[in-house]
Amino acid sequence: MRPWRAFWGLSLAGASVILLGACLKLWQDPTTSTELHLHAAADLNEKASVLSSKAMMPRPLSAAISRLTFSKLNPLPPGMFPRVSVMSRNESIPQGWPTLRSQWKSDLWGPRWNASALPSDLRAAQHARKTLLAEVCARYRRGGVPPVTLASTAHVSRLFVEERHRLLYCEIPKAGCTNWKRLLMVLSGHAPSTTAVLHTAAHYANGLRRLDSYPRREIERRLRTYTKVLFVREPLERLVSAFRDKLQRPNPYYGPLYGRAILARYRNNASSSALHSGTGVTFREFLRFLMDPHRPLAPDVHWEPAARLCHPCYITYDFIGHFEDLASEADAFLAALGIPPTLRFPPKEHDVTEAVRTEAMDLSREKGSFEISRQYFSRLLQRERQLAYDLYYLDYIMFNYSKPFSDVH
């Protein structure tokens, strides 16, 4: 064989191997080629540093904030931060609590996200919300900053990933999350429209990946470079909504699991039929379960405080929305993300199944979830209202919600 033929033969063989390897890589990660384009240096801009000016605070923090502590409701990620074993608000955040860290700020803007495209009033509201959150997190920071490693990925387990638009959405149940997952399924190409997504598919987030399913290095990269959004809700209204949906109405999962356990532990002389079905739990019994440090079951995401689900002192969110203005704020966010106007947040009429009817009814404001929650809490003692407020105290001050009752402090 002539030397030049051997040379070209070896060259073609090498090129084939390289091409095969590239194809295999694309097959394993279909977003690779897209990400290489989206993350090109020319397309990325430096993001502004975290807001910290106290002069921009929407209102002064009360002196009562200095008594902030956490409940024991949700343990911190194993191996990352210490557990808190107290129910009172008489001590500071323990050393090692997730804090604002420059390594976790969104230091890169995606080419699609444009915060300046938000309406001026919403842009000002976002500035105020993020300034307040940064101030609260900084005020209660204790000790040094944890190492820049992910000893556990539990703190990102509520984040859904939408690769096409480089979006991370933190799921907070009873704050519009079902329709958010519908929307993410459309954005990611798993559904043609939000109306085509049945409740079961949205509930189980068919086709969507959570951030904790990625390798550690990819988690870090997405936290740095993707747009991060969460929507919060008035804490005690969210709690009442969860109770009505999961325990007041018959529920094939929560009744046998949580209902039975609550009735067996907190109701004297519970009937055999109630213990069998798990139905008929009262709101007071439900609160006793939440306040019990020796409760028989682990916490559930539907009544976990938002701060425990989304770790906003550890992850810097680009957009903090409020459920009370869900439709308008979600649509403004989508427009700023570069989503065409033909796709907008699903209206409440799309929530037609029993499992999401409570959330849709709350959102409709026909009676108003504020009035509904006040009815439930008006039947309680002042001491019980105070304990419920203490349980969600961090959510109240982080997201600037007013005290729900005049007799709590």
**What residue type is 277 in one-letter code?**
S
Higher pLDDT, 349 or 90: 349
Secondary structure in 3-state letters for 36-88: HHHCCHHHCEECCCCCCCHHHCCCCCCHHHHHCCCCCCCCCCCCCCCCCCCCC
Q: How many domains does the chain have?
A: 1
Q: Considering the chain, what percentage of its residues have pLDDT values greater than 70?
A: 65
Residue 112 predicted with pLDDT over 60: yes
Mean pLDDT of 365-371: 66
76 located within any domain = no
Give the integer Cα–Cα distance in Å for 65 and 85. Answer: 19
Q: Is the pLDDT of residue 217 over 80?
A: yes
Q: Which residues on neighbouring strands pair with residue 46, listed in sequence order? A: 108
Say if CB 248 and CB 372 are below 8 A apart: no
**Beta pairing, strands 227-232 & 108-109:** unpaired
User: Is 10 domain-assigned?
Assistant: no
Phi, psi of 113 (to 5 degrees): -80, 130
Residue 174 inside a domain? The answer is: yes
Task: Output the pLDDT for position 94.
Answer: 37
Q: Who contacts 285 (Cβ-Cβ below 8 Å, separation ≥6)?
A: 262, 263, 266, 267
Whole-number average pLDDT of the chain:
75
CB-based contact 154:330 (threshold 8 Å): no
Token readout for 287 is: 């609160």
Residue 233 within any structural domain of the chain: yes
Closest C-alpha to 48, from 107, 127, 136, 103: 107
- Whether the predicted pLDDT of 250 surpasses 80: yes
Q: How high is the pLDDT of residue 206? A: 79
Average pLDDT over residues 210-224: 93
pLDDT category of residue 152 using cuts at 50, 70 and 90: low
**More confident site: 384 or 10:** 384
Give me the sign of the Cα torsion angle 179, 320, 41, 341: positive
CB atoms within 10 A of CB 205: 19
Say how far apart CA 198 and CA 19 lie, in whole Å.
Answer: 41
User: Is the confidence at residue 181, as pLDDT, over 50?
Assistant: yes
Residue 230 belongs to a domain: yes
* pLDDT surpasses 70 at 144: no
> Per-residue pLDDT for 57 more than 60?
no
Residue 341 lies in a domain: yes
Mean pLDDT confidence for 118-127: 98
90, two tokens: 């008489």
What is the Cα–Cα distance from 405 to 336, expressed in whole angstroms? Answer: 36
Phi then psi for 149, rounded to 5 degrees? -140, 165
Of the ranges 53-67, 113-127, 348-362, the best mean pLDDT one: 113-127
Nearest CA to 315 among 157, 113, 83? 157
pLDDT tens column, 33-44: 333 222 222 222
- Which residues form the domain of 218? 46-70+87-238+315-398
Q: What is the bridge-based pairing of β-strands 209-210 and 159-162?
A: antiparallel
Query: How confident is the model at residue 1, as a pLDDT?
Result: 54
pLDDT over 80 at 296, yes or no: yes
Average pLDDT over residues 95-117: 52
Q: Which of 60-69, 161-170, 293-302, 349-358 has the highest mean pLDDT?
A: 161-170
Angle between helices 235-243 and 382-391 (to 10 degrees): 100
Confidence of residue 8 (pLDDT cuts 50, 70, 90): low
Does the residue 12 lie in any domain? no
Residue 175 lies in a domain: yes
Q: What are phi and psi of 367, to 5 degrees?
A: -105, -25
